[in-house]
Structure 1
Amino acid sequence: MSEALPGGPSAVPASAGAPAQHTPREQPTPPAPPVKKSKILAWSLWDWGSAAFQAVVTTFVFGVYITQPAFGAEEVVTAQLGTALLIAGIIVALLAPITGQLTDAAGKRKLWLGITTAVVVGCTALLALVAPEPNYLMLGLVLLAIGNVAFEFASVSYNAMLSQVSTNANVGRVSGFGWGMGYLGGIVLLAILLVGFIFPDPGWFGVTHDGGWNIRVAMIVAAAWFGLSAIPVFFAVPEISVDPARKPGIRGIVTAYGTLFRTIGDLWRTARQTLFFLVASAVFRDGLAGVFTFGGVIAARSFGFDATTVIIFAIAANVVAGLATIIAGFAEDRIGAKPIMVWSIACMILAALLVFLLAPLGTWVFWVFGLLLCIFVGPVQSASRSYLARLIPPGREGEIFGLYATTGRAVSFLAPGAFTLAVMLGGAAIFGILGIALVLIVGLLLLLPVRTR
């Protein structure tokens, strides 16, 4: 039985500084009614579509496009891109917990998801205005930063909905199905764009590379993909109810921050293991992000992959990660989320070390053990989400998932820093994988002591 967060509707109050005698999960309750598969599918389609922003906009297509020489000197443009994303990350870290808290209390979770999703779709479509000229660089960076902020806020509301489309008996496979759909949806869209617009000249409908129109049209397609995929969740999943006990006490940003600090204090006093998990997950999730962020760099510089081969590897990596995540979700409901996280991270560390040690043997090493490394990324991400969802009392999902987003942002420097330091000390890109492995090891060591019962 998992530890529960304080403040659940059926929790028994405790004296100051002492843990509650009972938690919502410990009291006998009737089993939750099964959730319709159509509702689960509608919820997961948002994940399927959202990968249009993650995979196409930020990672493989527009993020590469805006750093081209046409926008300015590579080192200057890259630094400005990093600065824009850094500012976006700071905004998310500061605002994610209180926006989740306010939407929970006001019963506006679905409304907030709709607004932030619309902002992401709008920013993605407007990227079509960014011509390959220095004068358009700032427009592209601003749209990218706003889109990233809105996407993170939307993800908080979306993750909070997990409890509305699952029960304790199936939350693992529902989370895994949604996360796996995200991987597969991103790759399907990326393959369509690569074949239809990005590689051929001219591409579909006569779109040429002149003026960057192959990329700009791809942004319009990506926006439509996300917008259409997101529609079903707003019809299938109902809005949450207003919490009359909390709404009067949450007015304004300052008051919300006060509530946030009290929440952290409550976690320390009555649900310390949950707080420990938030810290541990922040570390290992940054390591997971490092796998995909720097995997292409290692493939190109240490194993001689050209740009096309890197993209092919990225597609293969996302496919295996997506399928593995869906399969692991079923296993999680049987054996628990923590074993999935622990064994998956351990396997990733082993695969990373084998990539480093066997690198002189040739490119097959990266194809085999690099893909093995990617297999376990999705299961860890999905299990981490469902593990936390099991702990949250009804009505506080947005608040705690907002805190989940903030802790992740707070340590987002770990993987880039460890990768850079390892490369500097080793003198070659291949040493960077040891930096990523180190972050995963620290995350695993922090996770192991976290008690699930």
Structure 2
Amino acid sequence: MVTISQRKRIWGWYFFDWASQPYNTLLLTFIFGPYFTNTLASNLMADGLTEGAARAQAQSTWGWGLAVTGIMIAFLAPLLGAIADNSGRKLPWIWLFSAMYFVGSAALWWTAPDSFSALWTLMFFGIGLIGMEFATIFTNSYLPDLHEDPDELGRISGSGWAFGYVGGLVALVIMLLLFQATANGTTLAGLKPLLGLDHSTKADTRIVGPLTAIWFAVFMIPFFAFTRDTAITGAPPLVIKDSLSALLQTLRRLPSHPSLLAYLGSSMFYRDALNGLYTFGGIYAAGVLGWTVTQVGIFGIVAIITGAAFSWISGRVDRRLGPLPVIVFCVLALTFVSLLIITITPGSVLFIPIKDGSNMPNVTFFIAGAVIGAAGGALQASSRNMMTRQANPDRMTEAFGLYALSGKATSFLAPALIALASQITGSQRLGVSPVVALFIIGLILLLWVKPRGDFKS
């Protein structure tokens, strides 16, 4: 068997982040999410709802759809991780979930406004999202094996996250320059949308689904080329039964590992809040500030650039100081910027009225987006590394399954709370306010987290 060098294994691992990031960048946050809510809101207004009520209802529908998907991910993630640990086989699962990613994203092409079905759209979006999230569980669990020095894992995680952001940035730029039409019918590059895509049917926007699918299929090649499993010899034939038993045993032992338990609880809340910002940021800008898809896309470019830069920088800080100080700083920054966003309307910033026609709300929101990108990228990179310090080294995939559970057990909470707040207040702006409380809860729970965890302290 040909030996794969450490450098190739690391770069293969990096390419998963590059390949998978467009699902978050193009679909979840900056292009398809706003398209979904704008299209559904337009249909609801055609049925007689006022604009404000229609936009709040569309945001609520998107939130409930993501909440249902999150519950499904939370239920299955730890068990799948335990199965992988018991069998030593991760790649077959990654192939399966990669196929779900591809099918789910490609199917979003069939969401034209004149035949739009919110149920159909959310179902296929959910299939792709489940594929991405489950594939991430298994690829994250390779991180501890990429370097013999644990202190180097923060740098590797940060560099991988930065590389993924750059991939998302390149994909977004391609979308805006070559496919997405502006108000005058041409792209930002002044071209007609490629492939003769018709703006009137939103084909220039819907192409984001197939583009994301093809991007993933192409750039997963290095990952599969340079990644190998080390199967556990003599794996038990009743692997699902034994894996479930091992998982239940791990859950029963969690109270005896307070640092791990506190970290899982903390990350559950702050990652849920961050995902809420990512998911509804573009939707908020489109609904509250009236931004076009192109404007939201440019906003995304700014956020991704800061995210890539600070993921890379935070990886170096993580190597020097450890992941915990990075996490605390980022959660504080995101809490403050969330409070800022709530105060932004077309006519005011920080609740202070401004002159009609002022560009201050747009500029302020761009600044907020840059901070979210920077702090969010650094937070996720260091959180991934922190999990390697908190987990039992012998049950790493199961631990990342629990990490996914902590990220998804309440992943319905931010979308559900935003959906509920949007419905109760009838306001998109006030609808995003619950993320502030989630960040604060996550910050408080970090007080019980040991920098090196229970297993390695």
- What range describes the TM-score normalised by the shorter chain of this pair? 0.7 to 0.9
User: Partner residue of 2:215?
Assistant: 225
Give the distance between the partners of 1:307 and 1:126, measured in 2 at CA: 20
Any idea what the Cα deviations from partners look like across 1:103-128, whole Å, max 9, x if unmatched?
A: 22112112211221122113322333
Pick the aligned partner of 1:346 from 319, 325, 332: 332
Aligned to 2:51: none
Q: State the match for 2:323 in structure 1.
A: 337
In the alignment, which residue of structure 2 is the partner of 1:143? 124
CA pair 336-223 structure 1, distance change in 2 beyond 3 A: same
Q: Which residue of 1 aligns with 2:350?
A: 358
Tell me how far apart the structure 2 counterparts of residues 41 and 288 of structure 1 sit (CA, whole Å): 27
Q: Please report how far the alpha carbon of residue 81 of structure 1 lies from its aligned counterpart in structure 2 after TM superposition.
A: 4.8
Alpha-carbon distance change, 448 to 114 in structure 1, aligned in 2, over 3 angstroms: same
Structure 2, unmatched stretches of 5+, are 46-53, 187-191, 344-348, 355-359, 452-456
Out of 60, 84, 95, which is 1:103 matched to? 84
More divergent stretch after superposition (234-243 vs 315-324): 234-243
Q: Which residue of 1 aligns with 2:448?
A: 449
For 2:382 and 2:61, locate their aligned partners in 1 and report how far apart those are by CA, in whole Å. 35
- 1:198 — aligned with what? 180
Equivalent in the alignment of 1:259: 246
1:71-90 superposed matches below 5 A:
72-73=43-44, 81-90=62-71
Match for residue 52 of structure 1 among 18, 22, 27: 22
Matches of 1:127 and 1:354 in 2, distance apart? 33
Cα separation, 2, equivalents of 1:83 and 1:186: 26
Q: Deviation string for 1:271-323 (max 9, x for gaps)?
A: 22111110111111112112223333554566665554333222201210121
Matched-pair identity in %? 31
Q: Which moved more, 1:258-267 or 1:378-387?
A: 258-267
Whether 2:376 is the aligned partner of 1:377: answer yes
Match of 2:93 in 1: 112
Distance 1:441 1:91 in 2: 26
CA distance in 1 between counterparts of 2:130 and 2:78 reads 13
Q: What's the CA shift for 1:397? A: 1.9
> Whole-Å Cα distance in 1 between the matches of residues 113 and 429 of structure 2?
33
Q: Is the 8 A contact 2:112 2:201 kept in 1?
A: yes
User: What is the distance in 2 between the residues matched to 1:70 and 1:371?
Assistant: 28
Partner of 1:392: 391
CA distance in 1, matches of 2:351, 2:276: 19
Question: SS in structure 1 opposite 2:207?
Answer: helix
Deviations 1:392-413 (A, max 9, x none): 3445222111111112212224
Q: Which amino acid aligns with 2:216?
A: F
CA distance in structure 1 between the aligned counterparts of 2:108 and 2:432, rounded to whole angstroms = 33
CA shift in 2, pair 1:415/1:143, >3 Å: closer
TM-score under structure 1 length normalisation: 0.81
Q: Measure the CA separation in 2 of the matches of 1:89 and 1:266.
A: 25
The SS at the match of 1:178 is helix
Q: For the structure 1 residues 305 and 211, does the alpha-carbon distance in structure 2 shift closer, same or farther, using more than 3 Å as the test?
A: closer
Aligned equivalents of 2:376, 2:411: Cα separation in 1: 17
Separation in structure 2 between the aligned mates of residue 324 and residue 296 of structure 1, nearest angstrom? 21
Residue matched to 2:142: 161
**Contact kept in structure 1, 2:67 and 2:412, CA below 8 Å:** no
Task: Work out whether residues 100 and 398 of structure 1, in 8 Å CA contact, stay in contact via their aligned partners in 2.
Answer: yes
**What SS does the corresponding residue of 1:108 show, helix, strand or coil?**
coil
> Which amino acid is the alignment partner of residue 224 of structure 1?
I
1:313-354 deviation per Cα after TM superposition (whole angstroms, max 9, x unaligned): 222012101210111001101100101111221233334445
User: Partner of 1:278 in structure 2?
Assistant: 264
SS in 1 for 2:411: coil
1:185 is aligned, of 164, 167, 180, to 167
The alpha-carbon deviation at position 192 of structure 1 amounts to 0.7
Match of 1:411 in 2: 410
Mean alpha-carbon deviation: is it higher for 436-445 or for 407-416? 407-416
Kindly tell me: are residues 35 and 387 of structure 1, through their superposed partners in 2, closer, same or farther at Cα, counting changes over 3 Å? Answer: farther
Partner of 1:170: 152
Unaligned runs of 5+ in 1: 1-33
The residue aligned with 1:16 is: none
2:132 counterpart SS class: helix
**Deviating more after overlay: 162-171 vs 281-290:** 162-171
> Relative to 1, partners in 2 of residues 1:251 and 1:40: Cα closer, same or farther, differing over 3 Å?
closer
Which stretch of structure 1 is more off in the superposition, 115-124 or 355-364? 355-364
Seen in structure 2, the aligned counterparts of structure 1 residues 196 and 149 have a Cα distance that, compared at 3 Å, is same
Q: How many residues align?
A: 416
Deviation at 1:205, TM superposition (A): 3.2
Which TM-score applies when normalising by structure 2? 0.81
User: Which amino acid letter does the alignment assign opposite residue 436 of structure 1?
Assistant: V
Q: Structure 1: which amino acid aligns with 2:8?
A: S
Structure 1 residues 351 and 124: CA distance shift in structure 2, 3 A? closer
Q: Which residue of 1 aligns with 2:189?
A: none
- Measure, in 1, the Cα distance between the counterparts of 2:200 and 2:116: 17
Deviates more, 1:166-175 or 1:345-354: 345-354
The answer for the alignment partner of 1:23 in structure 2 is: none
Equivalent positions of 1:234-313 (< 5 A) are 234-242=224-232, 244=234, 247-248=235-236, 251-252=239-240, 255-269=242-256, 271-299=257-285, 305=291, 307-313=293-299
Q: Is the 8 A contact 2:107 2:124 kept in 1?
A: yes
Name the counterpart of 1:38.
8
Aligned partners of 1:165 and 1:237 also within 8 Å: no
Partners of 1:143 and 1:306 lie apart in 2 by: 24
Deviation digits for residues 35-54 of structure 1 (CA, Å, limit 9, x no counterpart):
73332222111111102222
Single out whichever of 56-65 and 429-438 deviates more from structure 2.
Answer: 429-438
Question: Structure 2 vs 1, CA of residues 130 and 179 (structure 1 numbering), >3 Å: closer, same or farther?
Answer: same
The structural deviation recorded for 1:263 is 0.6
Q: Distance in 1 between matches of 2:120 and 2:422?
A: 33
Using a 3 Å threshold, how does the CA distance of structure 1 residues 237 and 82 change in structure 2: closer, same or farther?
same
1:273 corresponds to which letter in structure 2? S
The C-alpha deviation readout for 1:122-143, integer Å capped at 9, x for no partner, is 3322333444443765543332
Q: C-alpha deviations, 1:364-388, integer Å up to 9, x for none? A: 4333344234321111111111011
Q: How far does residue 260 in structure 1 lie from its aligned partner after superposition?
A: 1.6
Q: 1:79 Cα shift?
A: 5.9
